[in-house]
């Protein structure tokens, strides 16, 4: 198992689903974990309580990560309580299901802000400290929709494709600073979003949906691997291959 004792991790959108599983896995590896949420305080506190119950360190931290002021306030709060962030998992995202006819400019702007701009804001905020310490791990949660049709809409496709481009761009520029930047692209995981698009497990070659814990396993592999950077790891049960 990856040893993260003495490290501090921040998981955006960490109150439920994939984010929750990642936060708990990071804590099991020894990291102190900041569990970010925007509106689900009860869920975030439940994740923190689960970590505390096993002897780990964690804190809930409220912020809309698409807003720069809130991102900086969040990072300051985490540093005061836990220390500077060594591991950033950009998991926060929204999936507004829209047909082409329904899609509005407001839908598009909000999706890009939450799914893509937030990654930029959080990454820019933690990188200087990682550069100073010459160590850092950044993992971005993408989607199979970055390269496939998906069931949410073209706005969602664009946000996740941009995220993967940003992953490669940061990876290339931070590789000499001891910082790796990678992405995980899940498809059809047992989350609220899968329910919203009414997907069926019958179309998955493996015959079932993936689990949040399986996503967390891939994230932990990327956090623990110092040689892998600039990569996107597909997690689709054989539905697609990157």
DSSP 8-state code for residue 113? I
What's the confidence (pLDDT) of residue 158?
98
Question: Could you tell me which of 195, 202, 186, 102 has the C-alpha nearest to residue 146?
Answer: 186
State how beta strands 136-141 and 32-37 pair. Answer: unpaired
What's the confidence (pLDDT) of residue 207?
84
| Dist CA 117 CA 159 (whole Å) | 9
Q: Which residues are CB-neighbours of 193 under 8 A, at least 6 positions away?
A: 95, 152
| Dist CA 126 CA 34 (whole Å) | 13
Q: Point out which residues pair with 52 in neighbouring strands.
A: none
Average pLDDT per consecutive 10 residues, the chain (242 residues; last block may be shorter): 92 97 98 97 98 98 98 98 98 96 98 98 98 98 93 96 98 98 93 62 84 96 98 88 62
Domains of the chain are 8-235 (3.40.50.720)
What's the confidence (pLDDT) of residue 197?
56
Q: Which of 37, 156, 170, 227 is catalytic?
A: 156
Say if residue 46 is exposed, middle or buried (CB neighbours under 10 Å; 0-12, 13-18, 19+).
middle
What's the confidence (pLDDT) of residue 70?
98
CB neighbours of residue 43 within 10 Å: 18
What the block records as the tokens of 230 is: 């600039």
What's the confidence (pLDDT) of residue 23?
98
Q: Does 227 qualify as catalytic in the annotation? A: no
Residue that is written with structure tokens 């910082």 in the block = 179
What are the two backbone dihedrals, phi and then psi, of residue 167, each rounded to the nearest 5 degrees? -55, -50
Question: Could you tell me which of 89, 101, 73 has the C-alpha nearest to residue 20?
Answer: 89
CB neighbours of residue 105 within 10 Å: 8
What's the confidence (pLDDT) of residue 190?
86
- Distances, alpha carbon 77 to alpha carbons 67, 151, 161, 216, 233, in Å: 16, 37, 31, 25, 31
């Amino acid at each position: 198992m990856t040893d993260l004792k003495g490290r501090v991790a921040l998981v955006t959108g960490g109150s439920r689903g994939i984010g929750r599983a990642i936060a708990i896995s990071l804590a099991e590896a020894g990291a102190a974990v900041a569990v970010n949420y925007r509106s689900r305080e009860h869920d975030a506190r439940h994740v923190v309580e689960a970590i505390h119950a096993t002897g780990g360190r964690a804190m809930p931290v409220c912020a809309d990560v698409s807003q720069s002021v809130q991102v900086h306030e969040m990072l300051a709060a985490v540093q005061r309580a836990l220390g500077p962030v060594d591991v950033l998992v950009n998991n926060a995202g929204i999936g507004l299901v829209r047909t082409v006819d329904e899609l509005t400019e407001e839908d598009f702007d909000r999706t890009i802000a939450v799914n893509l701009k937030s990654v930029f804001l959080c990454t820019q905020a933690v990188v200087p400290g990682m550069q100073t310490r010459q160590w850092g791990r950044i993992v971005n949660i993408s989607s199979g929709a970055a390269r496939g049709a998906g069931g949410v809409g073209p706005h969602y496709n664009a946000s996740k494709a941009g995220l993967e481009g940003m992953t490669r761009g940061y990876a290339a520029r931070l590789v000499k600073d001891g910082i790796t930047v990678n992405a995980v692209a899940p498809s059809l995981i047992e989350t609220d979003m899968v329910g919203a698009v009414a997907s069926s497990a019958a179309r998955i070659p493996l015959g079932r949906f993936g689990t949040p814990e399986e996503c967390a396993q891939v994230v932990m592999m990327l956090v623990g691997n110092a040689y892998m950077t600039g990569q996107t790891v597909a997690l689709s049960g054989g539905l697609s291959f990157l």
